[in-house]
Structure 1
Amino acid sequence: MKLSLILWLAQILPQPVADPLCLTTTIYLEARNQSIEGQRAVAEVALRRLDSGRWGDSVCEVVTARGQFAPSIVHPGHRLKNVQAWTASAEVALDVQQQWALPPGERNEVVPGASHFAALYANPAWANAPKVKTIGDHAFYRVLRL
């Protein structure tokens, strides 16, 4: 399935359906080759950004905010071909969203406070922020200017 089709579906579906689709797509594109912990961490960053209100009012708005996550960076013609990875990403997305519905103190968070992440080979301007954790080939950061 092409990324452009998924993003189009996310625009026409009601938010309670579109948000898990957008989160699944983000996990797939950003972390399908990572451990479950790494995939959960990516989802947590997206949901934490949603909570902040700075990047949008829905998961889809957050993950498609210009230049922030893979759905806004990867070419729209990109095909998501790995069905097993897609299924695993969907399971992680749904599980993390259920966890996120709990009060903050009751969540089982993988990267508490992390609002950003980057591949280990990348050196974004905010990489001097406090590092929360490294998981696989991603580093997760708490950028204080949320």
Structure 2
Amino acid sequence: MKLSFVLWLASVLPQPAADPLCLATTIYLEARDQSSLGQRAVAEVALRRRESGQWGESVCDVVTARKQFAPTIVNPGLRMKNLRAWERAVQVAFEAQADWQLPAGERKEVVPGASHFAALDLANPSWATYPQVATIGDHTFFRVQRLTPPKAAPVPTVNVAALPSATQRMAP
């Protein structure tokens, strides 16, 4: 299957149904030759970025943000031929998303705080001088930004005493 088809499919699926597909595609493209732990770490970076809201409101927004992850860097005509690696990427994506639904303190984080990663034998990004969180397989994970979830808007309080009583509202 072609990368362009998978990304098109994700674009027509409703949210949040498209997110596991986008995450699995990213895991496949970035880490299909890595261990399950390495794949989970890649997923975690994407999920942490989504949670922060800085790269988009969905996983698909995050992994297709310009020049951030492989789906926007790799040729869209790329054929994703390794079915076994695809199945594994899908499994890791679903597991990572399920874990990420837990409260932050209960998650099984592999690379806590990591916001970026790179295969340093292939690339040397400017942010590679930031603190390293871990190296798993060919990828080194970095804490470039402290990503925190956006704060929920405060719930407005209503001064009940200032509201007209039910009998006042019904009066002619």
**TM-score scaled to structure 2, two decimals?**
0.83
Per-residue CA deviation, residues 62-115 of structure 1 (Å, 9 max, x unaligned), is 000000000011011000000000000000000000000000000001000000
The residue that corresponds to 1:10 in the other structure is 10
Per-residue CA deviation, residues 120-140 of structure 1 (Å, 9 max, x unaligned), is 212101011110000000000
The residue that corresponds to 1:35 in the other structure is 35
Paired with 1:143 and 1:23, the residues of 2 have a C-alpha distance of 21
Gaps of 5+ in 2: 148-172
State yes or no: 1:63 paired with 2:60.
Answer: no
Identity %: 71
SS state of the match for residue 34, structure 2? coil
The residue that corresponds to 2:140 in the other structure is 139
The residue that corresponds to 1:49 in the other structure is 49
RMSD value, Cα: 0.8
State yes or no: 1:103 paired with 2:103.
Answer: yes
Equivalent AA in structure 1 for residue 51 of structure 2:
D
Paired with 2:145 and 2:36, the residues of 1 have a C-alpha distance of 26
Paired with 1:31 and 1:145, the residues of 2 have a C-alpha distance of 24
Equivalent AA in structure 2 for residue 30 of structure 1:
E
**Bigger Rg, structure 1 or 2:** 2
State yes or no: 1:82 paired with 2:71.
Answer: no
State yes or no: 1:26 paired with 2:26.
Answer: yes
Gaps of 5+ in 1: none
Paired with 2:28 and 2:112, the residues of 1 have a C-alpha distance of 21
Q: How many residues in Structure 1 have an aligned counterpart in Structure 2?
A: 146
The residue that corresponds to 2:130 in the other structure is 129
Q: 1:145 offset after TM fit, Å?
A: 5.9
